[in-house]
Amino acid sequence: MSMKFIKKMPTAEEIIEEMPLSKHLKEVKKNRDEEIKKVFSNESSKFLLIIGPCSADNEDSVCEYIGKLAGVQEKVKDVIIIIPRIYTNKPRTTGEGYKGMAHQPDLNKKPDLIAGIKAIRKMHIKSLSEYHMPAADEMLYPENYTYLADLLSYHAIGARSVEDQQHRFTVSGIDMPVGMKNPTSGDLTVMLNSIKAAQLHHTFIYNGWEIETSGNPMAHAVLRGAVDSYGRNIPNYHYENLVILSRRYEEKQLLNPSIIIDTNHANSMKRYKEQPRIAREVLMSRKYDTSLKHMIKGFMIESYLVEGNQHIDEGVYGKSITDPCLGWQDTEKLIYYIAENM
């Protein structure tokens, strides 16, 4: 057997007992959750911004960034709900490179997954306690979801995970909005089938248990662009793309048809500075077509304290060590622009 069993992981119950969420913070999160859910049930017209670093690599810089978001949130609270991205698992196309804080909490040390689980939970608790802004994370590993289940207000299923049955079934048991990205091929059928699967009830094996889920009516589409067989990026945020998806939603008769636009990745052709322009175009499409205004609920934006990205060894505080991000100054301008052009 070519697997080496290093150490047994603690259960989610053991980690939560060791690092609990206070009664006060549970109430703060509950209230925020209800506010976010109302957007997807069409009880609220507020716009969502799921915004933050490509990967959360450092507690201090991530929390400083979220503190800045919190200051802006107060100014735009009547029209925008900001959900900080605290993405602690990083998918790697080839399996190489930094895999996120959950995998490697200290960049100068070897991977340590138990320390990583504790580090990401600590960071999420700090963000929630200091800024009252429960965050979003990507569900790269369905089994890891339970370690943060009581802390997150939004979940994302990535382009490489959206076809996986375990991800789809796990989402069906989550009482939170979950964005299902289109696969890297751009196939809308795959994404819509994933949403349908997540909205249905299922019985399956999860973390050593036979479980039954009731379905998640808040599972929805995230458009992130595509990559063709020649490696060329193909955006899918243009008006024509949005109209096609809205029609496909109707044909599928899915619950609460909703769209989030990822302004980076293949949509920006990996040119992070294009994100404000993409946001402006989508806002224009919403204004032009009332059905799209109803359906497009928000943006995913990659942003950090310092613009661009860096090699993992450079050590620039608040600068991405994975995909390049907008810097804070451009981010703040963009949020205010969105708030004024809803």
Summarised one tens digit per residue, pLDDT across range 101-114 is 999 999 989 999 99
Per-residue pLDDT reduced to its tens digit, 322-332: 999 999 999 99
pLDDT at 1 over 70: no
pLDDT digits (tens, 9 = 90+) for 231-271: 999 999 999 999 999 999 999 999 999 999 999 999 999 99
- C-alpha to C-alpha distance for 53 and 135, rounded to whole angstroms: 12
Q: Cβ-count burial of 247 within 10 angstroms (0-12 exposed, 13-18 middle, 19+ buried)?
A: exposed
C-alpha radius of gyration, the chain, whole number: 19
Q: What is the pLDDT of residue 92?
A: 80
* pTM for the model: 0.96
Q: To the nearest whole percent, how much of the chain has pLDDT over 90?
A: 92
What is the biggest distance separating any 2 CA atoms in the chain, rounded to whole angstroms? 60
- Which is the CATH superfamily of the domain at 12-340? Aldolase class I (3.20.20.70)
Q: Cα–Cα distance between 70 and 20 in angstroms, integer?
A: 23
pLDDT tens-digit map of 7-25: 999 999 999 999 999 999 9
Residue 139 token pair: 């569900």
Of 46, 65, 70, give the one whose Cα is nearest residue 54. 65
Average pLDDT over residues 176-190: 97
The pLDDT of residue 165 is 97
Predicted confidence at residue 93, as pLDDT, reads 80
Residues 20-56: tens digit of each pLDDT: 999 999 999 999 999 999 999 999 999 999 999 999 9
Residue 6 identity: I
Give tens-digit pLDDT for 137-152: 999 999 888 999 999 9
Domain residue limits, the chain: 12-340
* Burial track 41-72 (b if 16+ CB lie within 10 A, e otherwise): eeebebbbbbbbbbbbbbbebbbebbeebbeb
pLDDT beyond 70 at 116 = yes
- The stretch 226-234 carries a mean pLDDT of 94
State the pLDDT confidence band at 94, using cuts at 50, 70 and 90: confident
Find tokens 């379905």 and name the residue.
215
